[in-house]
Amino acid sequence: MFKQITDLAGGEVYLTFSLLMFLVFFIIVGIYLLKMNKKHIENMSSLPFQDNNAQTNEED
Q: Percent of the chain having pLDDT more than 90?
A: 32
Confidence tier at 16 by pLDDT (50, 70, 90)? confident
Question: Is 80 exceeded by the pLDDT of residue 57?
Answer: no
pLDDT digits (tens, 9 = 90+) for 20-44: 999 999 999 999 999 999 998 888 8
Rounded to whole angstroms, what are the CA distances from 55 to 1, 11, 25, 50? 57, 54, 37, 12
- pLDDT at 22 (0 to 100): 95
Reported pTM: 0.54
